[in-house]
């Protein structure tokens, strides 16, 4: 009885306290519609800062993954060229990455972003970002966006390096890289990613099947035509003489590095990581990117077995890369099975295109033209199959525009370089190897009792 009495008294006191507190509660009720409390403003600012941090982090993480692709290209090319040219390929890849960074700062970034809907290119000038300790405006850190876009430029230049390996001089190649990364790529990039005329028209290329890969492929094709094939590659009777690479383990390592880097290439092209929906889309892009590469490998293995009665490792490696290039134009909207099919068709393209190029006597040392140009075209054409907001007509217009501009300008530049300074090493230098002839590296050091002779 005592407990009940005290419990009843306590309940009564609590009720009386609530009644007395009602006026005060009324004074602290929610503000009228349209008003904003300091707490709500702080929550909004905090959410905006959080989105800013995650968006910038996406650019930075995606950027260093794509930067790692430079190592992948270097290893792939080092494995697919002959031993006497390995050091030259490594030098070209580290040099082109450095040139791309400098040129994209001095000219490329401002040239690529028009800031005018429907434009053809931006403005000339050195790009910059806020001083240290200064808060950035917008949805991401300015320097993070520059870094992410810059590594894409280097990727396009790497494509050219592999095709023209084993017979091109170093300095003409580097001069071409200056023009490609500082002017050609940024101008064409502005047409879509800089809100230019193709973007307004509705052309779609999510992460660069055309903007990056086919641009590099067109430039490589023009260079291969002007440069000519390696000596001994094609016989007078039309026979094709294989020139085996130095190391399949290196080439395989390079492929896996590229595969890894592609998650940054495609995933970070979502351009935002500040919401649940953005992160869910990034995860979907990762999965589709991976599945497309798997489809490319399996298709290349099965087709080479069917045609040649044995599996070709280089076709399998390039099948993976072709699958990755194929899905890059639209890695978000395909269903998983569709991603596998898109990648598999890329692998098939490689297997069929390599002998076609040999018949035309177009010497592509690493298979970059089938992988990046032809699979890039296929991936761009495939976008309307899974994305209802695009059309085949607009996609074809974009493909033709990029092809005509890049191939035409590249052809002119290669011919000018050939006429003014020469682009090809002599027959003797080619036979000796570019490591020794161009950069003074001995391919096979000899050992004697007195030590190593360089």
Q: Where are the domains of the chain?
A: 49-127+140-442
Give the whole-angstrom CA distance, residue 209 versus residue 218: 12
What's the full length of the chain, in residues?
Answer: 454
Task: Convert 181-192 to b/e letters by CB count within 10 Å (16 or more is b).
Answer: bbbbbbbbbbbb
Per-residue pLDDT, 441 = 83
Provide the CB-side half-sphere exposure for 30 (13 A, CA).
4
Six-digit token string for 300: 């290349």
The DSSP code for 168 is: B
Task: Output helix, strand, coil percentages for the chain, rounded to the nearest 5.
Answer: 70, 5, 25
Quote the pLDDT of residue 11: 40
DSSP string across 209-261: IIIIIIHHHHHHHHHHHHH-PPTTSB-TTS-B-----S-HHHHHHHHHHHHHH
Distance CA 331, CA 318 (A): 19
Whether residue 217 contacts residue 156, with contact meaning beta carbons closer than 8 Å, is answered with no
Q: Which residue has 């309940």 as its token pair?
A: 11
Q: Which of 289, 84, 105, 287 is nearest to 167 (CA)?
A: 84
Q: What is the pLDDT of residue 446?
A: 42
Beta strands in 269-391 (DSSP E): none
* Residue closest to 226 by CA, chosen among 434, 367, 369, 417: 417
Distance CA 411, CA 218 (A): 9
Q: Name the nearest CA neighbour of 324 among 261, 367, 271.
A: 261
CATH class of 49-127+140-442: mainly alpha
Separation in Å, CA 380 to CA 11, 81, 94, 187, 377? 72, 30, 29, 19, 5
Q: What is the C-alpha separation between 75 and 329, in angstroms, rounded?
A: 25
Q: Residue 376 and residue 369: Cα distance in Å, rounded?
A: 9
The helix (H) or strand (E) run that includes residue 447 is strand 446-448
Residue 448 φ then ψ, to 5°: -140, 180
What is the per-residue DSSP string for 143-162? HHHHHHHHHHHHHHHHHHHH
The answer to whether 205 and 380 are in contact (CB under 8 A) is yes
Residue carrying structure tokens 């069917």: 306
Q: What is the pLDDT along the chain (454 residues), one digit of tens a residue?
A: 333 333 343 444 433 343 334 333 334 444 444 556 666 555 555 778 899 999 999 999 999 999 999 999 999 999 999 999 999 999 999 999 999 999 999 999 999 986 667 788 888 888 888 888 887 878 999 999 999 999 999 999 999 999 999 999 999 999 999 999 999 999 999 999 999 999 999 999 999 999 999 999 999 999 999 999 999 999 888 899 999 999 999 999 999 999 999 999 999 999 999 899 999 999 999 999 999 999 999 999 999 999 999 999 999 999 999 999 999 999 999 999 999 999 999 999 999 999 999 999 999 999 999 999 999 999 999 999 999 999 999 999 999 999 999 999 999 999 999 999 999 999 999 999 999 999 988 755 443 333 333 3
- Tell me, what's the pLDDT at 114? 63
What CA–CA distance (Å, rounded) separates 119 from 175? 27
CA dist 354 and 367 (Å) reads 7
DSSP state of 309: S
Neighbours of 176 (CB within 10 A): 25
What are the distances in angstroms from CA 156 to CA 73, 90, 186, 356?
11, 16, 11, 23
Question: What pLDDT is attached to residue 44?
Answer: 52
Query: In the 8-state DSSP scheme, what is residue 444?
Result: S
Q: What are phi and psi of 35, to 5 degrees?
A: -80, 155
- Helix crossing, 248-267 with 38-80: angle to 10°? 160
The count of other CB atoms within 10 Å of the CB of residue 74 is: 25
- Sequence-distant (6+) residues with CB within 8 A of 45 are none
Query: Is residue 310 classed as helix, strand or coil in its secondary structure?
Result: coil
Q: Which residues pair with 447 in a beta bridge?
A: 452
Q: Provide the 10 A C-beta neighbour count for residue 442.
A: 14
């Amino acid at each position: 009885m005592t407990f009940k009495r005290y419990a009843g008294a306590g309940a009564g006191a609590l009720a009386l306290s609530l009644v007395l507190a009602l006026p005060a509660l009324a004074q602290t009720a929610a503000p009228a519609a349209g008003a904003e409390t300091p707490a709500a403003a702080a929550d909004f600012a905090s959410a905006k800062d959080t989105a800013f941090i995650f968006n910038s982090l996406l650019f930075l993480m995606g950027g260093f993954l794509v930067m790692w692709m430079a190592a992948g290209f270097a290893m792939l090319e080092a494995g697919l060229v002959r031993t006497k040219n390995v050091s030259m390929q490594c030098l070209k890849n580290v040099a082109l990455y450095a040139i791309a960074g400098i040129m994209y700062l001095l000219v490329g970034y401002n040239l690529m972003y028009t800031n005018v809907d429907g434009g053809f290119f931006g403005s000339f000038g050195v790009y910059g970002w806020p001083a240290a300790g200064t808060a950035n405006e917008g949805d991401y850190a300015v320097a993070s966006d520059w870094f992410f876009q810059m590594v894409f430029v280097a990727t396009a230049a790497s494509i050219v390096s592999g095709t023209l390996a084993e017979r091109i001089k170093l300095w003409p190649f580097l001069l071409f890289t200056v023009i490609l990364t500082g002017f050609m790529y940024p101008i064409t990039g502005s047409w879509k990613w800089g809100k230019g005329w193709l973007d307004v028209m509705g052309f779609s290329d999510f992460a660069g099947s055309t903007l990056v890969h086919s641009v590099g492929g067109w430039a490589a094709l023009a260079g291969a035509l002007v440069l000519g094939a390696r000596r001994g590659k094609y016989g007078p009777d039309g026979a094709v003489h294989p020139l085996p690479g130095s190391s399949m383990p290196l080439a395989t390592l390079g492929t896996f590095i590229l595969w890894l880097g592609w998650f940054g290439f495609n995933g970070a092209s979502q351009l935002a990581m500040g919401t649940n929906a953005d992160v869910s889309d990034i995860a979907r892009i990762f999965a589709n990117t991976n599945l497309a590469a798997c489809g490319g490998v399996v298709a290349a293995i099965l087709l080479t077995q069917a045609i040649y009665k044995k599996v070709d490792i280089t076709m399998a490696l390039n099948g993976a890369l072709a699958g990755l290039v194929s899905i890059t134009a639209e890695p978000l909207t395909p269903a998983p099975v569709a991603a596998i099919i898109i990648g598999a068709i890329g692998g098939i393209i490689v297997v069929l295109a390599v002998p076609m190029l040999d018949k035309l006597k177009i010497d592509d040392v690493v298979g970059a033209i089938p992988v990046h140009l032809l699979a890039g075209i296929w991936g761009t054409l495939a976008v309307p199959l899974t994305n209802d907001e695009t059309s085949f007509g607009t996609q074809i217009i974009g493909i033709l525009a990029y092809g005509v501009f890049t191939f035409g300008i590249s052809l002119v530049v290669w011919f000018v370089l050939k006429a003014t300074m020469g682009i090809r090493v002599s027959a003797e230098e080619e036979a000796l190897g570019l490591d020794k002839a161009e950069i003074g590296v001995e391919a096979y050091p000899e050992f004697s009792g007195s030590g190593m002779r360089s």
